[in-house]
A and B are shown apart, each in its own frame.
Chain A
Amino acid sequence: GIQVEQSPPDLILQEGANSTLRCNFSDSVNNLQWFHQNPWGQLINLFYIPSGTKQNGRLSATTVATERYSLLYISSSQTTDSGVYFCAVGGGGNQFYFGTGTSLTVIP
Chain B
Amino acid sequence: GAVVSQHPSWVICKSGTSVKIECRSLDFQATTMFWYRQFPKQSLMLMATSNEGSKATYEQGVEKDKFLINHASLTLSTLTVTSAHPEDSSFYICSARDWGRGGHYEQYFGPGTRLTVT
Q: Which residue from B102, B104, B112 sits with its C-beta under 8 Å from A41?
A: B112
With A95-B46, A97-B46 given, is the CB distance from A48 to B102 under 8 Å? yes
How many B residues face the partner with a CB closer than 8 A? 28
Interface flag for B78 (CB, 8 Å): no
B residues near A (Cβ < 8 Å) are 32, 34, 36, 38, 41-46, 49, 51, 57, 59, 91, 93, 95, 100, 102, 104-109, 111-112, 114
11 A-B interface contacts by CB (under 8 A): A1-B59, A43-B109, A45-B107, A86-B43, A94-B32, A94-B49, A94-B57, A95-B46, A97-B46, A98-B44, A98-B45
| Interface contact B111-A42, CB-CB below 8 Å | yes
Name the residue of chain B whose CB is nearest to the CB of A44: B109
For the A-B complex, the count of residue pairs with Cβ-Cβ distances under 8 Å equals 58
Chain A residues 21 to 77 lying within 8 A of chain B, measured CB to CB, are: 31, 33, 35, 40-43, 45, 48, 50
With A40-B111, A42-B111, A94-B57 given, is the CB distance from A48 to B104 under 8 Å? yes
B-contact 0/1 string along A80-107, CB 8 Å cutoff: 0000001010100011111111010000
Which 7 residue pairs spanning A and B have beta carbons closest together? A43-B109, A98-B44, A41-B112, A98-B43, A94-B49, A48-B106, A42-B111
CA distance A40 to B42 in the complex (A): 14
Task: List residues of chain B with CB within 8 A of the CB of A97.
Answer: 46
CA distance A41 to B38 in the complex (A): 10
With A33-B106, A86-B44, A94-B49 given, is the CB distance from A41 to B34 under 8 Å? no
Q: Which residue from A40, A41, A43, A96 sits with its C-beta under 8 Å from B46?
A: A96
